[in-house]
Amino acid sequence: MTTIGKINGASIAELAYDCGGDMCLSFFAKAYQEGWFTFPKDARVLEIGCAEADWQTPMLALKPDLDIIGIDWREAKRPGVVVRGDVMQLDEFERESFDAIVSISAIEHVGLGAYDDDPRLGSGDIVAMTNARYWLKQGGWMYLDLPFRPGKAFEVHDNFRAYNERALHERILPGFVLKQWARCETEHPDGPYIALLLEKQ
């Protein structure tokens, strides 16, 4: 990946998906507005990391037919089904049981033990992505965003990882085809971010 683009289009206030002012939800909102992906009718969708920003409520307002299941180590109340569990455990869900997976600013935190003493594993992001691929149907897609600093070292902080090109290819992309991506500029100290749309190979 040598060239980074930006998500273009309307201002956040003009988007159909109501991100409620959340930074990472706004990345999703713009990708959705630009038609990066569509949900099959009555799609079964997994949200990885559902306890922080509320992705589900505005999504179900637009697509009430979706069957959304969220997973998080922390307790959360969402309009879809919520599983309080560990995304690093393969047996949380059956193989190829989801049409799509959405993860808003979550994968970079998996395994670092920063949220309610969640399980620690240095390769937690790799395991989470391997599991996501297992749970996703063939030809299904996954949307996620991550801190991304091209040309710099891969960094592991107390509660997040910041990826470079090599780490992205080695830790996030194996088993997936990269369909869309965009650089997401922000003043947040964890940024800049990259938004990714992946398809299961």
Phi, psi values for residue 127, rounded to 5°: -65, -45
Number of C-beta neighbours around residue 190 at 10 A = 18
Tell whether the torsion through CA atoms of 74, 65, 108 and 158 is positive or negative: negative
Q: With 80 as the cut, is the pLDDT of residue 6 above it?
A: no
Band of residue 141 on the pLDDT scale cut at 50, 70, 90: very high
Question: 32 CB contacts (<8 Å, ≥6 apart)?
Answer: 15, 16, 17
Q: Are 188 and 11 in contact (CB under 8 A)?
A: no
pLDDT of residue 14: 60
pLDDT digits (tens, 9 = 90+) for 49-98: 999 999 999 999 999 999 999 999 999 999 999 999 999 999 999 999 99
Q: Are 88 and 107 in contact (CB under 8 A)?
A: no
DSSP for residue 6: B
pLDDT digits (tens, 9 = 90+) for 159-196: 999 999 999 999 999 999 999 999 988 888 998 999 99
DSSP for residue 21: T
pLDDT of residue 5: 41
16-200 is a CATH 3.40.50.150 domain: yes
